[in-house]
């Protein structure tokens, strides 16, 4: 088995992408938590003081969370396969797909 070294930049991109996916998921999920907690306050949504700005807050968090998850997925793919995707994900002799930097698993 060949010992392939993954560059520091690709490892950083992979783990930064994973972090952005987690932050994006939490940001997106906070919209639903806010609504669920706000329902018990008889129509008032939690600690949001300006009722006219509720929709903008929800939209900003939901769209921002989705954007972070998309950006994180892109960075994670770049970290996994390289920017050009040139052979780092698939080895020619064994058809093995990389699951994360430094680890290999059989392709499905």
Residue with tokens 């939209």: 59
- Contacts with 24 (C-beta within 8 Å, 6 or more apart), sequence order: 64, 65, 66, 67, 68, 69, 70, 71, 72
Query: Of all helices (H) and strands (E), which one includes residue 54?
Result: helix 54-81
- Provide mean pLDDT across the span 73-100: 67
Per residue in 12-34, pLDDT (tens digit) is 999 999 999 999 999 999 988 88
Residue 56 CA to residue 50 CA, distance in Å, equals 11
Q: Where are the domains of the chain?
A: 8-106
Per residue in 51-83, pLDDT (tens digit) is 556 667 788 899 999 999 999 999 998 888 887
Q: 30-63: buried (b, 16+ CB within 10 Å) or exposed (e) per residue?
A: ebeebeeebeeeeeeeeeeeeeeebeeebeebbe
Check residue 6 and give its pLDDT: 76
């Amino acid at each position: 088995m060949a010992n392939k070294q993954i560059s520091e930049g690709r490892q950083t991109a992979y783990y930064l992408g994973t972090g952005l996916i987690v932050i994006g998921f939490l940001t997106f999920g906070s919209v639903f938590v806010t609504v669920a907690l706000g329902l018990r306050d008889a129509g008032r949504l939690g600690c949001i003081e300006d009722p006219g700005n509720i929709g903008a807050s929800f939209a900003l968090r939901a769209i921002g969370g989705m954007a972070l998850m998309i950006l994180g997925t892109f960075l994670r793919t770049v970290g996994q396969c390289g920017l050009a995707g040139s052979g780092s994900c698939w080895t020619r002799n064994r058809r093995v797909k990389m699951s994360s930097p430094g680890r290999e698993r059989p392709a499905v």
